[in-house]
Chain A
Amino acid sequence: MHAYLYKVLENVVGPENITDKDFDIEAYTRDLGAGDEKRASFIVRPKTKEQVSTIVRVANRYRIPIYVRGGGTSHFGGWQPIQGGILLDMTRMNRIIEIDEKNLTATVEAGCTWYKLYKALKEVGLTHNPRELGGRAGTVGASVAKIGSGPIGVSKRGRLGWDVLGLEVVLPTGEITKTAAVEYMGTRPFENRGIGPDITHFFIGSGGALGIFTEVTLRVSPIPYDDYLYFNFTNYKDLEKAGDALSRPVGDELVFTLQHDVSAPWIRKGGTGIDVEAWIYGYSKEELEFRRRKVREICADAGGKEGDPNIAVRLFHRHEGYLWKGLPDYFAKGPVDYVSGYCPLYSLHEYYDLYDEIVVKKHRMGEEGKTGFGGWLIPRGWGIYVEFVYTDPEERPKILEIGDELTKRFYEIGLMPEQLGGHQGLPMARHSIPRLGPWYELIKRFKRMLDPNNILNPSLVIR
């Protein structure tokens, strides 16, 4: 059966684009997280949506699970093939299909990296945000599939999804569909709600379980004037006040990005207090100056002390493609694992207190300089993450144990997970799913409807 299936898939993508060699498989066994290695039966690299569609139909016929991978840099094992099967490496589908400078949209194949898109947009004076923090290898399709998180533009625009105007999706049955109905009328999507039920947003965050994205149309925007400011805060309650004032003009938030972090001395300055890096913007120099003045006033009023803006410049790495050449030395001490999610504006300090109690004081990871707490302002809330740098493989079990404990406690006080789950790593799903009630039951019904054979990323939704 394995040999027969190999031959069938080989006929679809060609002999150069399929492998079942043990060492090829091994290279796809882990993402960024601390979870265990998982092995696919085949790695397949499709080039077209038609090939993806055919592969899905073949998988249905033989009841073989399919997992979909972009750059492989997710944190929570979302694409890992826990039941063997076909792993689709989408990086051959990496074309920029169109940049529409008049309507300010960009349409790319799902395997196009953010970096490639960023560079192409920059050449015509455009940019895109919010943007994923997943590094250079991260792809647009994978980010949309997992609602990838990241600070760039997130304080102003909100999380990834606002900007997604339409998707081309291969459904679990193999049909190819466009989520923006206007495309069937011959018009590229130009706004993000479409006709009636918003099918585009239904698929965002579905983690490869409800369909395989082959094309994404995004809102893009002109490159604004920008500048950077740095502040030091002594406590998170003061920072909450600053975050309130900065995001109170809803829809016209005063900062593009406001990043906060403590500790993580292996990458940041490692001083006392909370580092707060502000990235401000304006579409005219006057607007930029206005925002600069307002951000300074607000942060000073809330108790922030202004410091060297180069700390923020270094973090955002402005001349190197914003974080994509950046995160200098981030992995120099070893791999990094995370617990993360989102919380309402005035609860940030509670999460810091829990982090301090569990990670720093109980497990003493702060003393070893192996952990950090940080995140970014979103409109009326905060993204938060806890980082663990660890020695692989020796410290992996310990990191997973601490992460498990922290995740459980975070969810008990209301942390919103970034996404449905992921199979392993820091076990978000184990603690989140029991709390998701009827919402999760509805998602399962959709899954059964769309994917009757439970082919796509089978254990993400239905376990």
Chain B
Amino acid sequence: MHISKCHEDIWRCGRCGYCGGSWDDDRCPSRFLIGFESATGKGRVLIARAIMSGQLKYSPSLAENLHKCSLCGACEDICNVIGKLPLLDILHSMRADLFEAGLAMPRHKKIVASCKENHNPYLERHEDKMAWLPKDKVLPKSADVYFFMGCTAPYRNPELCQSLIKIMEAAGVEVAVTPEEWCCGSVMLRIGARGLAEELAKHNLEAIEQSGASTVVTHCPGCYDTLKTEYPKLTGELPFKVLHITELMRNLIDDNRLKFKSKVEERVTYHDPCHLGRIHHHRVYDDSRAVLEAIGVKLVEMKRTREESWCCGAGGGLKSAFPDLALKVAKKRIAEAEETGAKYLVTACPFCLRNLKDAVEATPSAKMEVHDVLELASRALGS
């Protein structure tokens, strides 16, 4: 069993219950959705112990419980204060066990099958991945900066890829892309399909290597986290550095290479994506905010930001397996955003973008627009 690798940590839990987050405003989306202690880090550690000791067995209903979690990392972040348990590793290991036992969610099984065949989790054809690139546009296959497209933006939000290229061109940065790129494997890791994730990673590492890039830039925070923290586990130190696009943009602004012609003078609030912030303690919080300030917005913060930020609800396979629950989580974030009186809710993740947009559409009283930081930055560049 995969959880047996976490044996020591599973038994190290002091059972303080901080991870459940119910002591204040909800901090744990899973607890918010399920209510019972079995939705918390502490509860799931107790369940893992019982499985390891043979007291419990994985079952379809336990699988459902464990997948009603966006793997946002709030539990681990809270635990870091007092117990330092790698709760996400434990949760991922339980999902890997479930996957191998054939207990993955039905939708997740389809996604894995698609990814095996088409190298993306959206059940789309691989050859359509570059459809976002205008026919008259040619990007090099090798350059010092490689743009790792991910899957969500190319297949679902092509305008984000286009905006990114526009911004890089405005700053004079040549970026390489390749149609050989496959899904980074993030989704497979969340679902528990570790073997496939490894295959995808190996393929991508070769593709990136061929570009000769010294920097890989991603827009999707899931790709960012996977490339930055999971890939080195396979191959050791990477021959390139990984940056989120907002980190690169901030550097370019600081170096006076990226300048905006116009301002977006609107009241804006910013949603921190989990994979840029809490998860693996990336703490990429200030870069998006710096970009937003550079384009002239009036930034108003929500009550909960940065490591305390409420997850959008899309991650961890929650949106694909339980779209209604993902929406319920997102609606809570929309309510927090609405409290600020902002016109735009901005994020830096295509997955957050999609779920937050869905939540606004499903909330008749919600008036705000949801945008990605790339869209606003592109707008500020002018045509």
Q: Which residues of A contact B (CB under 8 A)?
A: 16-17, 19, 21-24, 26-32, 43, 45, 71-73, 89, 91-92, 94, 113, 115-116, 119, 135-138, 324-325, 327-336, 391-393
Contacts and interface: CB of A to CB of B under 8 A. Distances in A.
Q: Which 10 A-B pairs have the closest CB atoms?
A: A331-B14, A27-B43, A137-B17, A136-B23, A331-B83, A27-B37, A27-B38, A113-B23, A115-B23, A24-B38
A135 B11 contact: no
A23 B38 contact: yes
Interface of B: 11-18, 20, 22-24, 35-38, 40, 42-44, 46-47, 50, 55-56, 59, 61-62, 65, 81-84
B1 to A, nearest CB: 16
Nearest to A394: B11
24 contacts: A21-B38, A22-B59, A26-B38, A26-B47, A26-B50, A27-B37, A27-B38, A27-B46, A30-B15, A32-B15, A43-B36, A45-B35, A72-B37, A135-B17, A136-B23, A137-B16, A138-B23, A327-B82, A329-B81, A329-B82, A334-B12, A335-B13, A392-B12, A393-B11
B35 A136 contact: no
Most buried by B among A26, A45, A138, A329: A26
Contact of A137 (B22, B36, B84): B22
A23 B62 contact: yes
B101 to A, nearest CB: 14
A106 B90 CA distance: 40
A336 B36 contact: no
A135 B16 CA distance: 7
Contacts of A136: 16-18, 23-24
B82 A330 contact: yes
Contacts of A72: 15, 17, 37
Contact of A30 (B18, B23, B46): B46
Given A32-B16, A72-B15, A330-B82, A26 B56 contact: yes
Contact of A23 (B16, B24, B47, B83): B47
A427 B128 CA distance: 67
B16 A331 contact: yes
Contact of B35 (A17, A332, A336): A17
Contact of B55 (A16, A26, A91, A115): A26
Contacts of A19: 36, 38
Contacts of B61: 21, 23
Given A16-B35, A71-B23, A329-B81, 12 more contacts: A24-B38, A27-B38, A71-B17, A73-B16, A113-B23, A116-B24, A135-B17, A136-B24, A331-B83, A332-B84, A335-B13, A336-B14
Contacts of A391: 11
A91 B22 contact: yes
Contacts of B37: 24, 27-28, 43, 72, 89
A23 B56 contact: yes
Given A115-B24, A331-B83, A391-B11, A29 B16 contact: no
B35 A113 contact: no
Nearest to B83: A331
Contact of B56 (A22, A71, A335): A22
A368 B82 CA distance: 21
A325 B22 contact: no
Contact of B13 (A17, A91, A330, A331): A331
Contacts of A32: 14-16
B127 to A, nearest CB: 43
A393 B11 CA distance: 7
A137 B24 CA distance: 9
Nearest to B16: A135
B14 A334 contact: yes
Contacts of B11: 334, 391-393
Contacts of B18: 135-137
Given A115-B23, A335-B12, A392-B11, A24 B84 contact: no
A48 to B, nearest CB: 15
B47 A27 contact: yes
A227 to B, nearest CB: 24
Nearest to A336: B14
Contacts of B83: 329-332
B42 A27 contact: yes
A23 B11 CA distance: 17
B17 A335 contact: no
